Structure 1
Amino acid sequence: MRKLAFIAAALGLAATPAAAKPPKLLVVISIDQLSGDLFDEYRPHFTGGLARLAGGTAFRNAYQSHATTQTCPGHATLLTGGRPARTGIIANNWYNFAAPRADKQVYCAEDETAPGTTSDKYKVSPVHLKMPVLGELMKRRWPLSRSVAVAGKDRSAVMMGGHTPDQRWYWADGSFVTDLPVGPPPRSVALANSAAKQAIATARAPLQPPPLCAAKAQPLVIPTVKYRIGDGRFDRAAGDEDAFHDSPEFDAATLALAASLVQELGLGKGRATDLLAVSLSATDYVGHKFGPGGQEMCLQLLSVDRDLGGFFGMLDRAGIDYAVALSADHGGQDAPERLRLNGVAATRISNALSKAAVGHTIARQLGLPKSPLKTYGGAIYVDGSLPAETRQKIVAAALPRYRADRQVAAAFTKAELIATSMPTGSPVNWTLIQRARASFDPARSGDITVLLKPNINPVHEPDDSVATHGSPYDYDRRVPLLFWRKGMKPVLRNDAVETVDLMPTLAGLIRLPLTPGSVDGKCLKTVPGVRCPSR
């Protein structure tokens, strides 16, 4: 082998990723709401960082295989290798009637036992995440390994950074902040916040759309929405922070901070492999506010492609041996008003399915003083302060009402989901109850899980969010999963994989052994340089 290596070196042959040593830096990127549909549509038009990643091993059919396709559970799958049923992160929010406060709703990235908190004003914490993330396992095996998370949302940084990151920074109230006792913050953070403050204070002229985006500039009228939709170009007034983080400039700021931290902390230059997790949130904000089908999303994706190219260029110039994995926490579907213009029979949810409508009907039927139901998305919770016998009657009365509704595809009780085995095999073929089972935690999930039919938007009357996600259907489940390292040959794969496969695949790349059965995902041996354990 030494002789062969010597001959290869003498001939000037570059080592392939399969023969290379583990990289010194893993960069794991989530683009919030980057659906497989968007990736397929824009892939031919990328010329920057996304083009580079698409030129590696690109799985275009990766699945957030569970039913509750939201930000928190989706990010938790990426670096734990576990589905929501195992991570415990079953949604962005849920109800805990035993919580020691009046507000019984719990945010996924908070500690509800902290005095004086609510689900809106909370203490950021990873306490609800039941699994370690890859960075934690790396630090356990190689104490000199470092783990850094940077994100536009606190829950994204928490779910990718896990319990013991060295640095965790996310946007809140106009600046990048942390919940960790890091001492004096890195100089990079002060510089990033100063630049962001200046950007917010400066008015922005409209972006000039290229022909690709201009062709999508179709104004969309939704009576309850007071801003322009479909042909926006991200101009904004000075001081408009909301418009800043609903624009491509927000992702640029997040990547700038990540790049500065790489340089200041010397990531990828130490004796052990480091991990940098980055979650870019603007695609999600743009998708919600404008829908993914208009000029706004086109401008956003071309911008993030360019900005990622600049970020990777910085890593190249720094001489860092790095590998990149990129995926998304969920996909997203366009506004039904635009879908209908394109021939899709889409609509919005009826008021008949609101918690008030169903809850008050049940209260009258059973002689209760008020509605006994709390809801979050499709999770229906029965008031935990009521006697068990009363709660059973409420479930028995509510279940047929949900199942009879013309907009409901299925409704499952806790008992039905507990009795359902965890799904196996290709996520493409999972039934609705199997997808719901992958999202189910008996201590946190609702008493009834309601799944709407396809193409029904759960926002009845939008005001600042015309499109959304969260369904068990492929427009929300299917996302890209991309692996890249210098020297990797381009391979576009059509086989179905899961986002939980990302973590064990990276473990195979850096030769980190995992305890058998500790994750739901599988190591993808088709990725060059990855050594999967024998089964």
Structure 2
Amino acid sequence: MKSLSRYAAVLLACAAPVVSVFAQDGAPAVSQQVPAGAPKLIVAISIDQFSADIFAQYRQRFTGGFARLTQGAVFPAGFQSHAATETCPGHSTILTGNRPAHTGIIANSWIDQSVTTGPKVVYCAEDVSKRTAGSKDYVASPVHLLVPTLGEWMKKANPAARNIAVSGKDRGALMMGGHDIDQVYWWKGKQFVTLAGRELGATAVAENAEIDKLLAKGAPAFPLPAWCGRQDRAVQAGTATVGTGRFALKAGEGDQFRVSPRLDRATLDLAVKLVDEQKLGKNSVPDILAVSLSATDYVGHATGTEGAEMCIQLTQLDMALGDFFASLDKRGIDYVVVLTADHGGFDLPERLHEQALEKSARVNSAVSPEALSATLGKKYGLEAKGLILSDGPSGDYWLRRDLDPGTKGKLVDDAKALLEADPQVEVVLSAAEIAATPMPTTSPETWTLAERARASYNPLHSGDFVVFLKRGVVPIPAPRAGYVATHGSPWDYDRRVPILFWRKGMTGFEQPSGVETVDIAPSLAALIGLKIPQGAFDGRCLDLDGGTGNTCGAVK
């Protein structure tokens, strides 16, 4: 299996909870000795675009699933510590225990210039070898993920372990589940789908049938909680008006379903059905269920983080999570939950201007690769088209591959000078500068921008230089319906996410100091007695017992 090639091993069949995997060719082994009292099911939940800031803002209002989780081990200032705070890189850290520099998932997409037909944008969860010429569709796959997920390690130690993932996005499910996954589903169009070549399971078919009925009938608007009243105000952003939405569902409107609390409710409903179908938590060894909830991100992009829409979304999500946990309780499963996010988020500048952040702005066109190409192409007498490439007005930029090294060096230096003279640009870092930066080892809130970039840098996919906009500059030049706000910066409003662990009977605590999402996998591995080869994780084991016990034990 490609994702486990670093630790190739011979599996030894064993029916008992104590299992071992011995390595071939001197590679390290993974083994598992399930401790007495270990949880039978790991439930790993990622809420797309659920920042630490918004968690703190709504925390006192939660009465459902979030309220339960706050009774466990609470890390309110967790970090997606890398700079490329997007969905795919963030999800790739949660259950691999590795930063994007090692997962290979440096962004949601990158530019591939290795093909003779010219540069192409590669999506992080796409098998480009199966791309059809002229088609806008793609074959979803975890092919670019370079390291194992926790579920893969569990199956490597014992094939009886079940590794299941469900999400509102393919990249959420695939980056948390990995390559060796028993069942995987994500929302696409008007239904849940799975990997190419696999048939939908009976539970997914049943869930899709229920959704079909809802889409055909439509549904009324959600009520606005009384305490959300101050957020119920129209804001104009370009041609879009946001701030007063209620998510009424018109008959047949799949996109209205997607950008609403209904998507998360359906994802959790499918997760419960999969618990029953796969008999999760009933096996001789622990199982894992990864759930990525995408609606908060869709709502954040479409309406921002501070309007009535987000208030309704988080209220409904809190209720849906409460019902989900109650369903697990009813089934008598001994489970442990971790909930975190793939990244944070930032509100739209038009509303921020009214809320004491006048310096927030939309990025100007001078930062675009087209503008840079025109200026530098003229200076050096080069064809401007495709001279400098990027997938947006910030992040990774690539130079045309046919340039000689000397010209490339000059172009990087000139691009850096031009961009850093722009009042909206904080810094430009070359690939050489980033690669020369040691991987940081200190607490993530203290990292320099170069260190944050280093955690995202992988030479297989990263650009020739990286552009970081100033704090508060949103990389959306012109807002439009469905896309008024975003994330992706190296700033802490996009990096900081809550990390919450809960298990029935655990001694809870709150630790405000910074930890990383890469600490999640080693912490869960320790709970179930899974011993991973040394050096396989960037993260560290967190002791989740608020008392005298130590959940890290011998693996600490």
Q: 1:366 and 1:467, CA in 2 relative to 1: closer, same or farther beyond 3 A?
A: same
Name 1:392's counterpart in structure 2: 409
Name 2:367's counterpart in structure 1: 353
Which letter maps to 1:434? E
Pair 1:139-2:155 in alignment: yes
Residue 42 of structure 2, aligned match among 26, 51, 56 = 26
- Partners in 1 of 2:479 and 2:205 — Cα distance? 37
Name 2:528's counterpart in structure 1: 510
Which letter maps to 2:470? K
Which letter maps to 1:90? I
Contact 1:29–1:324, Cα closer than 8 Å, also in 2:
yes
Q: 1:468 and 1:118, CA in 2 relative to 1: closer, same or farther beyond 3 A?
A: farther
Residue 204 of structure 1, aligned match among 215, 219, 239 = 219
- Partners in 2 of 1:501 and 1:367 — Cα distance? 50
Q: How far apart are 1:400 and its partner, in Å? A: 1.0
Name 2:486's counterpart in structure 1: 468
Residue 57 of structure 1, aligned match among 69, 73, 78 = 73
TM-score, length basis structure 2: 0.90
1:115-171 deviations in Å (ceiling 9; x for gaps): 526795221111111100000000011121010000000011110010100011011
Name 2:552's counterpart in structure 1: 531
Q: 1:119 and 1:430, CA in 2 relative to 1: closer, same or farther beyond 3 A?
A: farther
Pair 1:266-2:279 in alignment: yes
Pair 1:43-2:45 in alignment: no
- Partners in 1 of 2:553 and 2:448 — Cα distance? 29
Moved more, 293-302 or 208-217: 208-217
Q: How far apart are 1:388 and its partner, in Å? A: 3.4
Name 2:429's counterpart in structure 1: 412
Residue 324 of structure 1, aligned match among 324, 333, 337 = 337
- Partners in 2 of 1:117 and 1:80 — Cα distance? 33
Which letter maps to 2:484? V
1:310-362 deviations in Å (ceiling 9; x for gaps): 11111111111111001000000111111111101211101111111111111
Equivalences for 1:124-523 in 2 at 5 Å?
Answer: 124-179=140-195, 181-183=197-199, 185-225=200-240, 228-344=241-357, 345-371=359-385, 372-376=387-391, 377-463=394-480, 464-523=482-541
1:445-492 deviations in Å (ceiling 9; x for gaps): 110101011000110101121111001111100000000000123322
- Partners in 1 of 2:151 and 2:507 — Cα distance? 27
Contact 1:504–1:522, Cα closer than 8 Å, also in 2:
yes
Name 2:23's counterpart in structure 1: none
1:493-523 deviations in Å (ceiling 9; x for gaps): 2111001000000001111012111111000
Q: 1:350 and 1:139, CA in 2 relative to 1: closer, same or farther beyond 3 A?
A: same
Moved more, 419-428 or 520-529: 520-529
Q: How far apart are 1:370 and its partner, in Å? A: 2.4
Name 1:11's counterpart in structure 2: none
Which letter maps to 2:50? L
Which letter maps to 1:318? R
Equivalences for 1:89-108 in 2 at 5 Å?
Answer: 89-99=105-115, 102=118, 104-108=120-124
Q: How far apart are 1:100 and its partner, in Å? A: 6.2
Gaps of 5+ in 2: 1-34
Contact 2:506–2:545, Cα closer than 8 Å, also in 1:
no
Q: 1:520 and 1:506, CA in 2 relative to 1: closer, same or farther beyond 3 A?
A: same
Which letter maps to 1:205? P
Contact 2:338–2:500, Cα closer than 8 Å, also in 1:
yes
Which letter maps to 1:109? A
Q: How far apart are 1:50 and its partner, in Å? A: 1.0
Q: How far apart are 1:533 and its partner, in Å? A: 3.5
Equivalences for 1:104-123 in 2 at 5 Å?
Answer: 104-116=120-132, 120-123=136-139
- Partners in 1 of 2:115 and 2:531 — Cα distance? 37
- Partners in 2 of 1:245 and 1:451 — Cα distance? 31
Contact 1:224–1:461, Cα closer than 8 Å, also in 2:
no
Moved more, 352-361 or 368-377: 368-377
| 2:353 partner SS | helix
Gaps of 5+ in 1: 1-18
- Partners in 2 of 1:298 and 1:530 — Cα distance? 36
Moved more, 467-476 or 113-122: 113-122
Q: 1:265 and 1:514, CA in 2 relative to 1: closer, same or farther beyond 3 A?
A: same
Q: How far apart are 1:532 and its partner, in Å? A: 4.1
Q: 1:306 and 1:109, CA in 2 relative to 1: closer, same or farther beyond 3 A?
A: same
- Partners in 1 of 2:492 and 2:135 — Cα distance? 30
Which letter maps to 1:478? R
Name 1:8's counterpart in structure 2: none
Moved more, 267-276 or 378-387: 378-387
- Partners in 2 of 1:84 and 1:178 — Cα distance? 25
- Number of residue pairs matched by the alignment: 514
- Partners in 2 of 1:97 and 1:219 — Cα distance? 44
- Partners in 1 of 2:136 and 2:91 — Cα distance? 20
Contact 2:85–2:489, Cα closer than 8 Å, also in 1:
yes
Which letter maps to 1:268? G
Contact 1:170–1:177, Cα closer than 8 Å, also in 2:
yes
- Partners in 2 of 1:235 and 1:470 — Cα distance? 29
Which letter maps to 2:398? Y
| 1:80 partner SS | coil
- Partners in 1 of 2:377 and 2:239 — Cα distance? 31
1:89-110 deviations in Å (ceiling 9; x for gaps): 0000011111465552111011
TM-score, length basis structure 1: 0.93
| 1:480 partner SS | strand
- Partners in 2 of 1:191 and 1:498 — Cα distance? 37
Which letter maps to 1:249? R
